[in-house]
Amino acid sequence: MWQFIGRRVALGVLTIFITTVAVTLLIHLVPGDPVQIMYAQSQGTTPEQIEQIRTSLGLDRSIPEQYVRFVGRLLEGDLGVTVRGRQPVLDLLLQRLPNTLALAFSAMAVAAVLGLPLGFLAAYRRGTMLDTALMTLAIAGVSVPHFWLGLLLLFAFAVELQWLPVAGTGPLNLVLPALTLGLSNAAIVARMTRSSMIDVMSQDFVRTAHAKGLPKAMVLERHVLRAGLVPIITMAGLQFAAMMGGAIVVENIFAWNGVGRLAIEAIFQRDYPMIQGFILVFATVVVVMSILLDVVYALVDPRIRRG
């Protein structure tokens, strides 16, 4: 158990360490002079100002020195300021992070609520028309681009029918983005649930249970459901990461005010301090949440401890 948690945490620490290195290097990979790209706004910055900025960003030092400086500041909670408007990067990201997390978790909930029962149903009715229909729906669901689905939902429910608000960051505004992100994922969850349940149903202990004459419902509940859910729950960390990734696009469709919108804006504005901050915060959140989900799961299910 502790060994498992230790390994997960070690990998997480390694990931965050590599992120900090990558983020420091990122600015050096940019073709052209990043300082010029970032700061030559408006009425022309003077060469002295450019030099001053270079010094204040520490770009005049060696890369290892820059790295140490970056980490030092990071530990103080300082990720620098944005190019546009000189706002503290970390504050902006943390102000918006709750919205992104809310979207990712709501989408996971939608996916679970729809995907698990439908996947289970398909497995239970394996080989029937219902199974075929559900699985066709699922593969179609996986294939529909969610930026398209999102636009269709936006135009149908917010613009045309006006059932839901078009702007702002209230609970009603969360409905459409969460559905958009959740629906395509529900298809994935349904597919995984089905194959996992089928695996379990064909296993010996289930057959034995049936042979012992246990009522079908009881077999399902006691054995199939529990065992079948195991591989699905272990995917929760991965699912969460996928939802966070998907959120970046979906936020931009619905103007949901999360970190994904900040990131896309920053890319267009070549706002490198913001891009660096985003990558770091995003990676950290994904890593930490995945570890938490895995650890919680390991606590619940003793079998994982071998792993």
Partner 1 sequence: MLADQTTADLASSPLETGRPEARSGFAARLFRSPGGIIGLAIIALLVILAVFADSLAPFSPTRMGAGRRLLEPSWRHLAGTDEFGRDMFSRIVHGARLTLKIGAIAVGISLAAGLTIGLIAAYARGIVEAVLMRLSDVLFSFTETLIALACVAVLGPSLENAMVAVGLAGIPYYARTAYASALVEVSKPYFEAAIAAGAGPVRLVLLHLLPNILPTMVVVATLGLSSAILAAAGLSFLGLGAQPPAPEWGAMLSAGRDFFNRAPWLMLYPGLSIALVVLAFNLLGDAMREALDPRGAD
Partner 2 sequence: MKQSIRKALVSAAATILLGGIAPAASARDIVWARYGDMDTLDPHRATSTLSLQVWSLVYDTLLAVDATGKPVPNVARSWTTSTDGTEYTFKLNEGVVCHDGTPLDANDVKYTVDRAFDTSNPSLTKASWGPVTSVEVIDPLTVTIKLDKPFVALVPFLADSFSSIICDSSKDAPGFGSTAAIGSGPWKFVSWTKGDRIVLTGNTSYRNFGKLAENKGAPYMEGLVITTVPEPQARLAGLKTGAIQIAEPPLDDVPALKQSGDLKIVIAGNTGQNVFWEFAVHRPPFNDPRARRAVAHATDAAAAIDLIYGDLSLPEKCPISRGVFGNDQEFCARHGQSYDPEKARALLAELGYGPDKPLEVTMIAWTGGKRDKLAEVFQSQLAEVGITARIEIMDIGTMNARVRQENEKRDGIGSLDMMTWSWFDPDILYALWHSPGAYRGYTSSELDAMLEKTRVLSDQAEREAAVRDVMAYLLENAIHVPLYTPGWEWVFAVRPEVTGFKVAPFVYPVFNDVRF
Residues that bind partner 1 (CB under 8 A): 11-12, 14-15, 18-19, 22, 26, 29-31, 126-127, 139-140, 142-148, 151-152, 155, 159, 184-185, 188, 191-192, 195, 235, 238-239, 241-242, 244-246, 248-249, 252, 263-264, 266-268, 272, 275, 279, 282-283, 286-287, 290
Number of residues that bind partner 2 (CB under 8 A): 58
| Phi, psi dihedral angles at 231 (to 5 degrees) | -65, -25
CB closer to partner 1, 219 vs 282: 282
Name the token pair of 222: 């006691």
Rg for the chain (alpha carbons), in Å?
Answer: 24
**CA 130 to CA 38: how far, in whole Å?**
56
**CA 217 to CA 125: how far, in whole Å?**
14
Q: Provide the H-helix boundaries in the chain.
A: 2-29, 34-39, 47-57, 63-75, 89-124, 129-143, 146-153, 171-201, 204-211, 216-219, 226-234, 236-254, 259-268, 272-300
Of these, 162, 204, 212, 217, which contacts partner 2 (CB under 8 A)?
Answer: 162
Q: Which does 84 bind (CB under 5 to 8 A by kind): partner 2, partner 1, none?
A: partner 2
Quickly tell me which residue has 């010029």 as its tokens.
36
Strand partners, 88: 81
Question: What is the pattern of x (binds partner 2, CB under 8 A) and - over residues 99-128?
Answer: x-xx--xx----------------------
Name the token pair of 140: 């179609």
Q: Which does 143 bind (CB under 5 to 8 A by kind): partner 1, partner 2, none?
A: partner 1
Q: Which does 283 bind (CB under 5 to 8 A by kind): partner 1, partner 2, none?
A: partner 1
CB closer to partner 1, 156 vs 218: 156
Q: Which does 299 bind (CB under 5 to 8 A by kind): partner 1, partner 2, none?
A: none
Contact status, residue 194 vs residue 119, Cβ threshold 8 Å: yes
Name the token pair of 43: 């009425």
CB closer to partner 2, 142 vs 279: 279
Smallest gap from residue 236 Cβ to partner 2 (A) = 16
**CA 220 to CA 164: how far, in whole Å?**
40
Q: Which does 72 bind (CB under 5 to 8 A by kind): partner 1, partner 2, none?
A: none
Contact status, residue 240 vs residue 112, Cβ threshold 8 Å: no
CB closer to partner 1, 5 vs 214: 5
Smallest gap from residue 287 Cβ to partner 1 (A) = 6
3-state class (DSSP) for residue 250: helix
Question: What is the pattern of x (binds partner 2, CB under 8 A) and - over residues 57-96?
Answer: ------------------xxx-----xxxxxx-xxx-xxx
Give the Å distances, CA to CA, from 288 to 6, 11, 97, 284: 13, 11, 14, 6
Smallest gap from residue 115 Cβ to partner 1 (A) = 11
Residue 215, C-beta contacts closer than 8 angstroms, at least 6 positions apart: none
CB closer to partner 2, 19 vs 193: 19
Tell me which residues touch partner 2 (CB under 8 A).
Answer: 32, 36-44, 49, 75-77, 83-88, 90-92, 94-99, 101-102, 105-106, 154-155, 158-159, 162, 165-174, 252-253, 255, 257, 261-262, 265, 268-270
